[in-house]
């Protein structure tokens, strides 16, 4: 299956759709608390400012173990290979909210989505699911991504190869406002707000870039569960804009 190359017009189309989109549209299911205010992304350097302002609420419980990141932090778009289990002590703080944006295109994608839902339930994370089921309609795919952003969650998690290329177009316009995590795929040129968790056979980068390295047989329930935990831990620990390799 092939997809046309992106054009600048697609970015303009995505922005137009986002401006007009109402948060209640699309095929959406939800669980957990309803968001009431926009998410403000903060970094460790933002906490405890000398101006006397209160520190932002923590978004992480626990800490990354030694071995999660190398001594020298990776460059943007770089790859880290965390030591197995180095993310086990990390979980989202109470009140953390995610949107699962999935294409439901095949059994592998459904396995990944199920792992995300199980992780959310295990950690008491509020989760909403948006189904992007019309990959042949580019406008509809952009609309689903913008709908996910409009939910104003702490993190948008995507599963499914059909979402990789549309996300490449939309995500750069939301740096500093919305974090994204791609599971089982990776943006071709991720910006600081896009993190990917991948493995050998799960490194899809787009239909014209990485279809030959994608193997759906590598998507097992165990690997999917490990991937979501490691990927979220990286985001919570402010290790973003990189690829987390779990094999």
With bands split at pLDDT 50, 70 and 90, how would you rate the model's confidence at 183? very high
- Does pLDDT of 81 surpass 50? yes
Structure confidence at residue 46 (pLDDT): 35
User: Closest by alpha carbon to 176, among 38, 45, 41, 15?
Assistant: 41
Residue 151 lies in a domain: yes
Residue 89's contacts (CB-CB under 8 Å, 6 or more residues apart) are: 62, 63, 64, 65
Contact between 226 and 112 (Cβ < 8 Å): no
Percent of the chain with pLDDT over 70: 73
Q: Summarize the confidence of residues 165-172 as an average pLDDT.
A: 92
With bands split at pLDDT 50, 70 and 90, how would you rate the model's confidence at 193? very high
Q: What mean pLDDT value characterizes the chain?
A: 80
Structure confidence at residue 205 (pLDDT): 64
Residue 49 lies in a domain: no
Domain tally, the chain? 1
With bands split at pLDDT 50, 70 and 90, how would you rate the model's confidence at 54? very low
Residue 7 lies in a domain: no
Domain range enclosing 204? 58-245
Distance CA 236, CA 87 (A): 10
Contact between 17 and 146 (Cβ < 8 Å): yes
Question: What CATH number is associated with residue 80?
Answer: 3.40.50.2300
Residue 119 lies in a domain: yes
Residue 42 lies in a domain: no
Q: What token pair was written down for 69?
A: 């990141």
Give SS3 for 202: strand
Q: Summarize the confidence of residues 216-239 as an average pLDDT.
A: 96
Residue 111 lies in a domain: yes
pTM: 0.78
Residue 34 lies in a domain: no
Q: Phi and psi for 110 in degrees, rounded to 5?
A: -65, -35
Residue 186 lies in a domain: yes
Torsion of CA 163, 151, 176, 210, to 10 degrees: -10
């Amino acid at each position: 299956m092939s997809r046309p190359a992106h054009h600048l017009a697609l970015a303009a189309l995505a922005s137009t759709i986002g401006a007009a989109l109402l948060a209640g549209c699309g095929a959406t299911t939800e669980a957990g608390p309803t968001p009431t205010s926009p998410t403000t992304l903060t970094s460790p350097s933002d906490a405890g400012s000398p101006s006397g302002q209160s520190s932002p609420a923590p978004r992480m419980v626990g800490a990354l173990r030694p071995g999660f990141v190398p001594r020298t932090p990776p460059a943007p778009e770089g790859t880290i290979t965390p030591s197995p289990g180095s993310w086990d002590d990390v979980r989202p703080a109470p009140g953390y909210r995610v949107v699962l944006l999935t294409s439901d295109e095949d059994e592998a994608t459904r396995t990944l989505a199920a792992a995300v839902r199980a992780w959310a339930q295990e950690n008491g994370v509020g989760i909403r699911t948006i189904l992007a089921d019309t990959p042949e309609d580019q406008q509809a795919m952009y609309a689903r991504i913008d709908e996910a952003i409009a939910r104003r969650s702490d993190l948008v998690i995507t599963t499914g190869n059909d979402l990789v290329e549309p996300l490449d177009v939309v995500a750069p316009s939301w740096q500093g406002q919305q974090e994204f995590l791609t599971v089982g795929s990776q943006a071709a040129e991720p910006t600081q707000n896009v993190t990917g968790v991948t493995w050998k056979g799960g490194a899809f980068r787009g239909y014209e870039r990485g279809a030959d390295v994608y193997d759906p047989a590598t998507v097992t329930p165990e690997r999917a569960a490990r991937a979501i935990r490691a990927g979220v831990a990286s985001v919570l620990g402010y290790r973003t804009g990189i690829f987390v390799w779990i094999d």
